[in-house]
Amino acid sequence: MPKKSKLATPAWILEGFDSEADYNKAKGVKKEKKADKTFNVKKCPECGSYDVNVVLTGEEGRGAKEWECKKCKWQGREIDEEELSEDEFMKYLDEKGEEVA
């Protein structure tokens, strides 16, 4: 019968932090795992439109690094990303007119 492993003391306690949140903040950990499903939607930083596309330039197979807004014709690398819950995402699709299966 294999031996059971011992419980390890969490790193935030060993390093002397008061809470795990303080430890994550000090170490630069930003994202915490969400319990429910989330969806990321790209958004234009200029006009706030969701009608953005990636600009394909250069050699095929290389990463595209530029975005373009179809509404205001903005082009750039810094694009806003919005995280939506499942209900918010369904509402977004309804407003956009996409058909949901």
Stretch 76-100: mean pLDDT, rounded?
85
Please state the domain extents for the chain: 39-101
Structure-block tokens of residue 33: 């795992």
pLDDT level of residue 64 (50, 70, 90 thresholds): low
Chain mean position to CA 64: 18
44 vs 81: CA distance, rounded Å: 9
pLDDT level of residue 32 (50, 70, 90 thresholds): low
* 12 in Cβ contact with 19 (< 8 Å): yes
Question: What b/e readout covers 54-81, taking b as 16+ CB neighbours within 10 angstroms?
Answer: eeeeeeeeeeeeebbbeeeebeeeebee
Stretch 67-82: mean pLDDT, rounded?
89
Residue 41 pLDDT more than 70? Answer: yes
